[in-house]
Amino acid sequence: MSVLQTLMKNTYELPGKYKEMSAGEMEGRVREIKAQLGKRLFIPGHHYQKDEVIQFADTTGDSLQLAQVSAANGDAEYIVFCGVHFMAETADILTNENQKVILPDMRAGCSMADMADIHQTERAWEKLQHQFGDTILPLTYVNSTAAIKSFVGKNGGATVTSSNAHKMVEWALEQKERILFLPDQHLGRNTAADLGIALEDMAVWDPITNELLFEGDADQIKVILWKGHCSVHENFTLKNIADVREQSPEMKIIVHPECRREVVEASDDNGSTKYIIETIKKAAPGTSWAIGTEMNLVKRLINEHTDKNIISLNPHMCPCLTMNRIDLPHLLWSLENIVESKPENIIKVDEDVAHNAVLALDRMLARA
C-alpha cells in the first residue's frame, strides 16, 4: 500500500483508550510487550526522537548506524522503527522477506525527502545528460525516498549520510567528472567545499523551474546540487551566531552540515549527528557549547552533560515536527497491534524499486 493510500485509510485517531491511559501505564505496557516478544521485536531509534520513545529503543543511532544495524539484524520478526519514513524504507530494503518494518505513525515523513520526487529527478537527469553527456554520477543523501535511491542505484551511484558524505563524494568524483547531489543542497555544498571544490564550480538544479542555475563556464561544473533543504536545520542563521558571539563569547559553536554554508563557515566546528554527540561527550567539563541541530537531541545532550554549559544555537528552535509524530501512544499502539496479530503501518518497498535501491545502499555500506 502506498503512503497516500495508507494516509487515506488511516484517520490517525488512535483508539480513545490511549488518551485515557497515563504515561506510566503506557510505559508499563510497552515494557510488558517488549518482554513478551523478546528477540522477535527490535526497536531502532534515531537520535532526534523524543525521550518518551527513545527510552524504549534497543539501539539508538544516526541514519548510517540505523541502516547498518538494520542490515545486520536478520532475526527480529518485527522492526518498529522510531524515526521517519525514509529510514523505515531503508530498513525494509536492507532486511529480509520475513521481517516486517513498522512505522508507528505514517505522518512521520521528512520535508527534505519530499523535495525530490522521482518524476522531477528523471526530468532533470534527461536534461543534464543532454547537456553533459555521460559524465555525471548521482549521489543521494539517505534522506530521500526509496524511488530516488533506486534511480541512483540504477545509474551507478550511491547513498550517503552526513557521517560519510566526504568519503562518498570523493569516491563519486573518482568515478565520473561531476556529481548530481540529491536532495540536500547544503550537505552537498558543505561537503564539496570541505573537499576543496570551489563554490564557483557548483551549480544548483531547480526542480520547480527545471533549470540549472549557474554563472560561468558550464564545463567547469563539478557538483550539481539539488535545490532541497532541511526545514529544521535551515532555521539556524548568521544572526543566531552573532548573538551567541556577543552574549557568550566563550561558547564554541558546532552545527550540522544540513545548515546553510554561511552558518557552517561562521561556526567553530561542524559534523554529523554522531560527530556532534561525540564532540560534546569528549569535551572538558566546564566548557560551553551552542549546538545547531535538532532540538530533541540538543535537550538530551543538555540533560546528559550537566557538567557542561549547553544551549541551542537558536533559542527559539523547535524539534523536527515529523520526527515528533512518533510518540509513546503511537509506539504502544503499534506494539499492541503486533501482539494482537494485526500489525499496522507496515512499510513495504516495491520489489522493483528495492532491487536498485539496495545497489545504492550497498555501495555506501561497503565504504562506510
Q: How far is CA 140 from CA 36, 81, 168, 195, in A?
A: 39, 21, 10, 17
Decide if residue 190 touches ligand 13P (CB under 6 A).
no
Contacts to ligand 13P from residues 227-256, by CB under 6 A: 230
Q: Buried (b) or exposed (e) across 61-79, using 16+ Cβ within 10 A?
A: bbbbbbbbbbbebeebebb
Which of residues 225 and 230 has its CB atom nearest to ligand SF4 in the complex?
230
Q: How many residues does the chain have?
A: 368
Decide if residue 121 touches ligand 13P (CB under 6 A).
no
> Exposed (0-12), middle (13-18) or buried (19+): which is 319, by Cβ within 10 Å?
middle
Which of residues 63 and 145 has its CB atom nearest to ligand 13P in the complex?
63
Decide if residue 317 touches ligand SF4 (CB under 6 A).
no
Q: Is 46 annotated as a binding residue?
A: yes
Using an 8 Å Cβ cutoff, are 184 and 229 in contact? yes
Decide if residue 291 touches ligand SF4 (CB under 6 A).
no
Which of residues 111 and 155 has its CB atom nearest to ligand SF4 in the complex?
111
Q: How far is the CB of 232 from ligand SF4 (least distance, A)?
A: 4
Q: Which of 323, 331, 338, 358 binds ligand SF4 (CB under 6 A)?
A: 323
Q: Which of 62, 89, 105, 327 binds ligand 13P (CB under 6 A)?
A: 62
Q: Which of 143, 159, 164, 314 binds ligand SF4 (CB under 6 A)?
A: 143
Q: Is 278 annotated as a binding residue?
A: no
Bridge partners (DSSP) of residue 100 are 78
Part of the chain binding ligand SF4 (CB under 6 A), chosen from 33-41, 109-117, 149-157, 351-359:
109-117
Residues 143, 85: Cα–Cα separation, whole Å: 9
Decide if residue 161 touches ligand 13P (CB under 6 A).
yes
Of 189, 227, 192, 229, give the one whose Cα is nearest residue 211. Answer: 227
Q: Is 141 annotated as a binding residue?
A: yes
Strand spans (E) along 196-304: 202-206, 211-213, 223-226, 252-255, 269-270, 288-292
Decide if residue 322 touches ligand SF4 (CB under 6 A).
yes
Residues 127, 168: Cα–Cα separation, whole Å: 24
Residues 153, 42: Cα–Cα separation, whole Å: 28
Which of residues 109 and 153 has its CB atom nearest to ligand 13P in the complex?
109
Q: Residues forming the annotated binding site for [4Fe-4S] cluster?
A: 110, 230, 320
| Positions in the binding site for ligand 13P (CB under 6 A) | 48, 62-63, 143, 161-163, 230, 258, 272-273
